[in-house]
Structure 1
C-alpha cells in the first residue's frame, strides 16, 4: 500500500512541478486527469486507514479534478457540435479536399 501511495503522491507532485515551470498547463486534460487519478487513489487509501484529514484533502482534490474534467469534456463536445453544424456547402468543400483557406475564402465571398 505504501508503494501505491508514493507513486500517486509523486504523480501529483510531478504535475504541480511541471505546471510551475510552465511545461504543463493546469488547464490541460493530462494535468487534471493525473491529479484526479492520484488524488482518488490517495483518498480511498486514507478512507480505508481512517486518516480523516488526509482523506478530506485528497477527496476535495478529486472532486475539483472531476469538475475540471467535466468542464474540459463539455468544452470539447461543444467544439465538435459547432463543427458538425457547419453549412453543407462548407462540409462538401472540405470533403473534396479543399484547404480551409479556400473554404474560408468562399464563405467570405458569400458563395
Structure 2
C-alpha cells in the first residue's frame, strides 16, 4: 500500500513549522497491510532538523478523506538557523527484522525566511 505526500498550498518553508498531509492510497484489508513510517525534515547531508513523527497508516475506511493524515513538523533550533537552502521531508521505513531504516519517499522544500530583529535600524 502506497503513501503519498500531499503538498499544501505553499511548497516553501517560511516559518519554524511545516504542515503536510500524508495520504494512504488504499484502505487496509486482509490483503493490504498497514504501513509504518517515520517522518522528519532533514538537511541534504542527512541531519534531522525537525521533530520526528512515527506514523501508522492503517485506516480500513473506503472514504479517501479518512485516509488523510495531517502532520505539523516543528523545526529544531538548528533548523531555525537554516535559510535559503533546500531541505528534505523524508519518510523512512524500518527494514524487516532489523533496527535499520531505509528511505521510502522524500520531497524537497526550500527554506526562505526573512528575519527581522527588534533592534534593526
User: Scaled by the length of structure 1, what TM-score is found?
Assistant: 0.23
Return the structure number with greater relative CO, CA threshold 8 A, min gap 6. 2
Q: If each structure's strand is expressed as a fraction of its own residues, which one has the higher value?
A: 2
